[in-house]
Structure 1
């Protein structure tokens, strides 16, 4: 049996948007969709201490048990929204008891991908990613996609000729952030597969920065000129991608090499994209969970859905 696409839902606007995006992705992949609602009955649930999975719109100072909408209603609302937007997808809903982070991490192990919501903020301050979503992204062993609350089906598509939003036009680019010093097959394949499913262009971005003069050895002085170094990085990127171009010949690939910090380059490249794909390295030994600066910047500042793909 194929692994499902799983969406975590808690009744918030961002989780409903994530569930709808997950439904569209499940339909593209011909996978079932599983809606998961975690209900934490921890003894610390008391006045003034809302659990991290609660929407920020819930009022403070009310017993947490009273603040939470019934699980059945949460799942029903998500299913109703999906039925209206993606009527053909196969849906199953499930309620689990216990902390949301633990439940979602377990679900991620069984999923094609796990989809969660993140709340948008106004201006240029970025996006508020809840503590549960951050913890899941930092620890999950399978792909996790974060979707902002305002995400709509039209946002995945390029505008119509008159500039209006449409779902009848082609898909926006899939953007892949790739470090050619440590390329990951899992991350690259996820991005190529996503582009193929959408019949979209794949834009692969590698960012580099020149080494400090203090780090150069006696034989490295000829490498100081940036144009030559940029050409070298371009050659490395092309070599890494060639096997994937051969495997996915139907995917149009645009290679971009820029002299810039990776986080800055990716945030800019993802502007106008339909999906950004980044990697997160799994630790070989127990260490505190972390996402790394590039993934951190992506999940906080990129407005399109962000897929974080763990790899060794």
Structure 2
């Protein structure tokens, strides 16, 4: 894997992302790149304030805040993991565009997210969701308090067998191997999809047959990766019903949840699917979104 990139802005959420990214870079044996994306160059901000006199202390702090933020982040990462290769840069570009570009040259992009509360329903805000929706590299969203993972906490991956899943499974197996953690592989299927009209009553024999088929299909999908990563203990689960609640319930004890995102040529108002959208907003653990075709 290439370097791990983390976006910072001085917030507690970006501090959590930094801690998680530094640990992952160390596990993978790659460099950590700390990036502050600045929407408007600091000089332009000061010019826009008008000729009201010499800059005050607040203006100087605003001018140098990106540099202060990246230096503090690098110092924090170095304190956490002495010997880790660390680089940093302040990028004078729109935040989403800058982070997506940084992710294109990285093996992994890490960003912070806010904990869900009664007021803020979109924990990733105007930056996180578009970054995840347009990045070509895996993006890990980390909320404050989730950066420290208990040893042995499982890695959980949700697999959609109707699309290509090699990249998603590959990321999950590698994450489990690096953490010496068990891997739980999930797949949800629909009883309604068995019938051509919604009023049909499901026959128990048909449902049982479909359940067995789904289990076999998932086991077959996982087997090549199991042979490649024999040291990873794997548990394969299938269920019928709503996908997002099932994934959230099954990852309640996870140290990392891995989901996929279809790469699309055209941009959509919500650039991720409903399941990915739901787990990003409600999963308490870090969530890795892996783009795939």
**TM-score, normalized by the shorter chain, greater than 0.5:** yes
Q: Displacement, 1:224?
A: 6.1
Structure 1 SS opposite 2:192: coil
Report the counterpart of residue 89 of structure 2 in structure 1. 94
Report the counterpart of residue 7 of structure 1 in structure 2. 6
Q: Displacement, 1:66?
A: 7.2
Scaled by the length of structure 2, the TM-score of the pair is 0.86
Q: Displacement, 1:202?
A: 0.4
Conserved in 2, the CA contact under 8 Å of 1:201 and 1:253? yes
CA separation of 1:207/1:13 partners in 2, compared to 1, >3 Å: closer, same or farther?
Answer: same
Q: Displacement, 1:78?
A: 1.1
Conserved in 2, the CA contact under 8 Å of 1:126 and 1:301? no
Match of 1:129 among 120, 124, 141: 124
Report the counterpart of residue 210 of structure 1 in structure 2. 191
Query: Matched residues in 2 for 1:113 and 1:5: separation?
Result: 5
- Number of equivalences: 278
What runs of 5+ residues in structure 1 fail to find an aligned partner?
Answer: 47-62, 158-169
Structure 2 SS opposite 1:250: coil
Report the counterpart of residue 24 of structure 1 in structure 2. 23
Q: Displacement, 1:222?
A: 6.6
1:41 paired to 2:40:
yes
Residues 1-312 of structure 1 correspond to what in structure 2 (within 5 A)? 3-41=2-40, 70-122=65-117, 128-153=123-148, 156-157=149-150, 170-211=151-192, 215=196, 225-283=206-264, 285-288=265-268, 290-312=271-293
Q: Displacement, 1:193?
A: 0.5
Scaled by the length of structure 1, the TM-score of the pair is 0.81
Which is richer in helix? Answer: 2
RMSD: 2.8
What runs of 5+ residues in structure 2 fail to find an aligned partner?
Answer: 46-57
Moved more, 225-234 or 267-276: 225-234
Query: Matched residues in 2 for 1:4 and 1:260: separation?
Result: 38
Q: Displacement, 1:247?
A: 1.0
Query: Matched residues in 1 for 2:120 and 2:34: separation?
Result: 30
